[in-house]
Structure 1
Amino acid sequence: MMNETRSDGKDGQIRALVVGDDLVIRRGLVSLLDTDNRTLAVREALGRSQALELAQAWVPDVVILNLGVPRQEGMHTLAELSQLYKVLVLAAKDVAFDVDHALRVGATGYLVHRQFSASEFIAAVVATAQGRAHLSPGAVIALAEKLKAVRPLRAAAPGGNRVDGLSRRELEVMEYISRGQSNPDIAKALFLSEKTVKNHVNRIYAKLQVRSRAAAVALWLGAPVDLD
């Protein structure tokens, strides 16, 4: 069978493969995707072997992997899938080790159950299909805490020379990002519009030469970790 061509979500229509051993969660995610007009097609797989077989034949734009129990098996599945496909991980916990491990293994995004709405889930799926990292606030905070423990913040300039190029306002926004705050949260805290905050975030990414919140936080904390 010939592989189909990926759309990568650029035309607003994506193919999503939902993988997980929990039938209730899997079907719930499929239902959410089926009701959104940005999703061209959705398929589901029970576990590793079925996921790999279906992914190879169907070539999804994004794989949504629900990390179940045992988690080590889920990490093995993630490692194999992420070599060829963009993977959005869904997990029950925002433990720093789990978040860091998943990102290092190859996850593009990491969502924590009960930390996202239906619309936020769809946004994360679309972002992942387009190659943009998307993490739940708890995951960002957990990652930041882990990086702080490994390498404390420098008193002068976190993130090195690239951070020196940020404006005062961008430094303020970056501080909120490092705490796991979303754009709406930052907008409220700084009395700005969400559009203005988004513009600041985009400029921060450009100056720091990163493509994701996780990578920006890692650089901000001075960690030698490439997460974008």
Structure 2
Amino acid sequence: MPDSINLLIADDHALIREGLRKILSIEPQINVVGEVADGEQAVAFCRQNDVDILLLDINMPIMNGIEACRKIKEIKPQLGIIALTIHDQDDYLFELIKYGISGYVLKDVHPHQLIQTILGVARGESFIPPSLTTRVLAEFHRLTSGETEKKHHLLTEREIEVLKQVATGQSNKDIAKALYISEKTVKNHLTNIFQKIGVADRTQAALYAIKEKLVEI
């Protein structure tokens, strides 16, 4: 994780942006580098500036958060995006997971939890609220229930070990330490895992591992 996390706030309400900035100023590792009021501005800012984490509202004018997420991930796939929304709705979350979001946080979240989520995403972790996990897994199972091949049979023993670690929320650094390998090796394993099981990111890989009962939650 970088010593300083460059974070962009994207929300169409000025009062919320101001409140978020004050909350995040408590954490010395978080550096709020900008604030924007719509998805189009968020895309432009991320294209032109060094941003590590984007705190993204879903319902914004001109371009909503879902479309902004899709475009930003095309430009900077390594940028961590955390959706901050009042909507506890499956369809938002499923779309965002598909586009590679790293976290999904409801706006009634405690400030400490928000900060911890940002720090976790900066470490390469993912976060889905427990209240939504069961529904996400059910939808993931429905979408993949027609598959006859168990794709994780294509994985090596070491890749399965790495996948299990990802499913329990471990960062690349933690995985490397636990398995006595380098972080670069962990990244190489993840690239192979994603390709073999047909997923795009850590969140989808974790959901796959839980669905196939490689880990228990």
Change over 3 Å in CA distance of 1:52–1:214 after alignment to 2:
closer
C-alpha displacement at 1:107, in angstroms? 1.4
Q: Distance in 2 between matches of 1:48 and 1:69?
A: 6
Is the partner of 1:126 in helix, strand or coil? helix
Provide the rounded CA distance (Å) in 1 between the counterparts of 2:204 and 2:121.
13
CA shift at 1:70, angstroms? 6.5
**In the TM superposition, what is the alpha-carbon distance from 1:36 to its structure 2 partner?**
1.2
Deviation for aligned residue 1:20? 1.3
Match of 1:130 in 2: 123
Q: Distance in 1 between matches of 2:26 and 2:12?
A: 22
Which of 76, 85, 105 is equivalent to 1:111? 105
Select the residue among 113, 137, 144 that pairs with 1:144. 137
Cα distance, 1:150–1:71 mapped onto 2, change above 3 Å: farther
CA distance in 2, matches of 1:162, 1:95: 34
Residue type of the alignment partner of 1:29: L
Is the counterpart of residue 92 in structure 1 residue 86 in structure 2?
Answer: yes
Deviation at 1:63, TM superposition (A): 0.9
1:32 to 9, 23, 28: 23
Q: Distance in 2 between matches of 1:69 and 1:47?
A: 5
Partner Cα separation in structure 2 for residue 220 and residue 162 of structure 1:
17
Q: 200, 209, 217: which one pairs with 2:207?
A: 217
For residues 32 and 67 of structure 2, the distance between their equivalents in structure 1, rounded to whole angstroms, comes to: 26
Aligned mates of 2:138, 2:93 — CA distance in 1:
11
Deviation at 1:136, TM superposition (A): 1.7
Q: Give TM-score, length-normalised by structure 1.
A: 0.62
Contact 1:109-1:134 within 8 A present in 2 as well? yes
For each residue in 1:183-205, what CA deviation from the matched residue of structure 2 results, as whole angstroms up to 9, or x when unmatched?
Answer: 9xxxxxxxxxxxxxx99xx78xx
Residue 194 of structure 1 is matched in structure 2 by none
Q: CA deviation at 1:87?
A: 1.3
Q: Rate the CA distance shift 1:138–1:93 in 2: closer, same or farther, 3 A.
A: farther
CA shift, 1:67, in A, is 0.8
TM-score, normalization by structure 2:
0.65
SS of alignment partner, residue 82 of structure 1: helix
2:44, 2:203 → 1: CA distance? 32
Question: 2:183 maps to which residue?
Answer: none
CA distance change for structure 1 residues 71 and 93 in 2, over 3 Å: closer, same or farther?
Answer: farther
Structure 1: gaps (5+ residues): 1-8, 184-197, 224-228
- Against the structure 1 CA distance between its residues 24 and 63, is the aligned structure 2 distance closer, same or farther, given a 3 Å change threshold? same
SS in structure 1 at match of 2:28: coil
What does residue range 50-199 of structure 1 map to in structure 2 within 5 Å?
50-68=41-59, 73-83=64-74, 84=76, 85-114=79-108, 116-151=109-144, 160-161=152-153
Distance 1:128 1:141 in 2: 21
Checking the alignment, whether the CA contact within 8 Å between 1:22 and 1:68 is kept in structure 2 is no
CA distance in 2: counterparts of 1:217 and 1:97, whole angstroms: 16
Q: Please tell me the residue identity of whatever aligns with 1:110.
A: Y
Please tell me the residue identity of whatever aligns with 2:46: A
Residue 5 of structure 1 corresponds to which residue in structure 2?
Answer: none
State how many pairs are aligned. 181
Please say if residues 94 and 142 of structure 1, whose CA atoms lie closer than 8 Å, have aligned partners that are also in contact. Answer: no
TM superposition shift of 1:93: 2.5
**Where has structure 1 moved over 6 Å in runs of 4 or more?**
none
Q: How big is the shift at 1:162?
A: 8.4
Q: CA deviation at 1:80?
A: 1.4
Q: Conserved in 1, the CA contact under 8 Å of 2:38 and 2:63?
A: no
Q: How many Å apart are 1:222 and its aligned residue?
A: 4.1
